[in-house]
């Protein structure tokens, strides 16, 4: 990410990288058999909205920030948009719109402030971030190390050639980040490894989002541990996006985009992919409830 401006002659320099800022697109699906996770934006609707606002295709790469935002200096004129976790946005030192196109002149700095709710903000640029693709995706994969490096101050992010007109603010907005995370769970394939009482109590129990979570998985704490009825080890088997794996402490872990493709702890159920964007914006400490679907 230090090769200068992109094909459109534009680029953005990282002034402040934030706690964890990565390049993400829709991920590299289809390589699990090679041990490669899907990766991609955790809050896919927020990623898609940022691109739609600027006329980008949905697969254009954006930046995903974590909690404390990012600051970028434009090398040339660009148009950007910030969606996802609500936050203060400043352009050239002046307040700018959140979830709407913002124009930057050469030398001006976009400052995305700390999340006021939720966890992850998405920064799109018209033309998309044109970092090199690996296995068909520009996503940073924290587990396997594929894709561009985690952002560091001084890195240059090239910008691609725009493909469509700026859409503007006529796109519907997304729901606010959750104050309580409610996740539907399709039970199986290893629900029978747990006591019937534990499985029955899952929908009545409340957990909390643990600060130990990351892009690999949302960890929970504070609820009743799920009790296994079977001892012994489970041979490593394939894992899918949204799998609810239960480690020895009995606290459910929901696998997110950078999850491993295999695992050796039993999977109680699977959260449907369309519900996982809520997990992406769940701050540590908020309540978590699971609603079994069968």
Domains of the chain listed by start with CATH number: 10-159 (no CATH), 181-292 (2.40.100.10)
Q: What is the pLDDT of residue 294?
A: 65
Q: What is the pLDDT of residue 165?
A: 86
Q: Which of 202, 177, 207, 210 is nearest to 287 (CA)?
A: 207
Residue 244 is inside which H or E element, if any?
strand 243-245
Residue that the structure tokens 């950007």 belong to: 80
Q: What is the pLDDT of residue 167?
A: 76
Q: What SS3 string covers 44-88? A: HHHHHHHHHHHCCCCCCCEEECCCCCEEEEECCCEEEEEEECCEE
277 Rama sector, left if φ>0, alpha if ψ -120 to 50, beta otherwise: alpha
The answer to whether 157 and 167 have CB atoms below 8 angstroms apart is no
Q: What is the pLDDT of residue 169?
A: 60
In order of 55, 205, 271, the CA distances from 164 in angstroms are 5, 48, 35
Q: What is the pLDDT of residue 45?
A: 94
Q: Which of 234, 233, 242, 237 is nearest to 262 (CA)?
A: 237
**Residues 110-130: tens digit of each pLDDT:** 999 999 999 999 999 999 999
Q: What is the pLDDT of residue 102?
A: 97
Across the chain, mean pLDDT equals 93
Question: Could you count the other beta carbons within 10 Å of the beta carbon of residue 52?
Answer: 20
What does residue 217 show for φ and ψ, rounded to 5 degrees?
Answer: -165, 150
Instruction: List alpha helices for 134-257, DSSP H.
Output: 196-202
Q: Which of 194, 177, 176 is nearest to 282 (CA)?
A: 177
The answer to whether 292 and 185 have CB atoms below 8 angstroms apart is yes
Which tokens sit at 206? 């409340």
Distance, in Å, from the CA atom of 124 to the CA atom of 142, rounded to the nearest integer, reads 20
Q: What is the pLDDT of residue 172?
A: 64
What does residue 166 show for φ and ψ, rounded to 5 degrees?
Answer: -65, 130
pTM score, whole prediction: 0.94
Distance, in Å, from the CA atom of 63 to the CA atom of 122, rounded to the nearest integer, reads 5
**Residues 231-264: tens digit of each pLDDT:** 888 899 999 999 999 999 999 999 999 999 999 9
- pLDDT above 90 for 176: no
Dihedral angle sign, alpha carbons of residues 173, 55, 94, 65 = positive
The pLDDT confidence band at residue 272, using thresholds 50, 70 and 90, is very high
**Residues 194-231: tens digit of each pLDDT:** 999 999 999 999 999 999 999 999 999 999 999 999 98
Give the mean pLDDT of 180-189. 96
- pLDDT above 60 for 6: no
Give the mean pLDDT of 17-41. 95
- pLDDT above 70 for 156: yes
**Residues 64-102: tens digit of each pLDDT:** 999 999 999 999 999 999 999 999 999 999 999 999 999
């Amino acid at each position: 990410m230090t090769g200068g401006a992109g094909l459109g002659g534009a680029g953005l320099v990282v002034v402040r990288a934030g706690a964890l800022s990565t390049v993400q697109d829709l991920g590299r699906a289809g390589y699990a058999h090679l041990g490669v996770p899907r990766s991609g934006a955790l809050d896919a609707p927020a990623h898609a909205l940022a691109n739609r606002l600027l006329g980008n295709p949905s697969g254009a790469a954006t930046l995903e920030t974590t909690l404390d935002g990012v600051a970028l200096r434009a090398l040339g004129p660009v148009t950007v948009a910030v969606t996802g976790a609500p936050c203060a946005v400043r352009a050239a030192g002046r307040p700018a719109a959140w979830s709407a196109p913002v124009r930057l002149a050469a030398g001006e700095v976009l400052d995305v402030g700390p999340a006021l709710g939720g966890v992850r903000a998405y920064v799109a640029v018209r033309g998309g971030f044109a970092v090199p693709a690996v296995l068909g995706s520009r996503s940073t994969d924290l587990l396997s190390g594929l894709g561009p490096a985690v952002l560091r101050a001084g890195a240059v992010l090239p910008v691609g050639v725009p493909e469509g007109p700026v859409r503007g603010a006529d796109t519907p907005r997304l729901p606010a980040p959750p104050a309580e995370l409610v996740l539907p769970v399709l039970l199986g394939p290893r629900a029978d490894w747990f006591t019937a009482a534990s499985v029955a109590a899952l929908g009545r129990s409340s957990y909390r989002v643990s600060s130990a979570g990351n892009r690999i998985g949302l960890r929970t704490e504070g609820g009743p541990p799920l009790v296994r009825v079977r001892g012994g080890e489970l041979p490593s088997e394939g894992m899918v996006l949204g799998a609810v794996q239960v480690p020895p402490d009995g606290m459910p872990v929901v696998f997110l985009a950078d999850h491993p493709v295999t695992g050796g702890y039993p999977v109680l159920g699977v959260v449907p992919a369309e519900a996982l964007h809520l997990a992406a914006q769940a701050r540590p400490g908020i309540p978590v409830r699971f609603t079994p679907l069968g």
